[in-house]
Amino acid sequence: MKVVEFQRENWRDASKTLRKIADQLDSGELPVCSIGVMAMRDPVGQVELFAFGPVADDLQSLAMFRLAEQKLIDVLLEGGEG
């Protein structure tokens, strides 16, 4: 069994990470976002889901979550970042 530990430039701090992503979008470091999705879980297990962007309807948001799930699986199976 292989255990992979995610350590990405202070990504464990949710507020700082979200600000960094917003700054990267604003600066053009990240491409324009047509649809984005995010899931957060608090310490007691409550899950909050967010969808944003000009085409973020329910179906597109669900599809984006599934694409993100597959991307994460691919990265884990390859043993690196994708």
Rounded Cα distance, 41 and 43, in Å: 7
Token pair belonging to 57 = 């309807």
pLDDT for res 79: 77
Domain boundaries, the chain: 14-78
Token pair belonging to 54 = 């000009």
pLDDT for res 4: 44
Per-residue confidence in pLDDT tens, the chain, 82 aa? 344 454 566 678 889 889 988 999 999 999 999 999 999 999 999 999 999 999 999 999 999 999 999 998 998 898 765 5
Rounded Cα distance, 61 and 55, in Å: 8
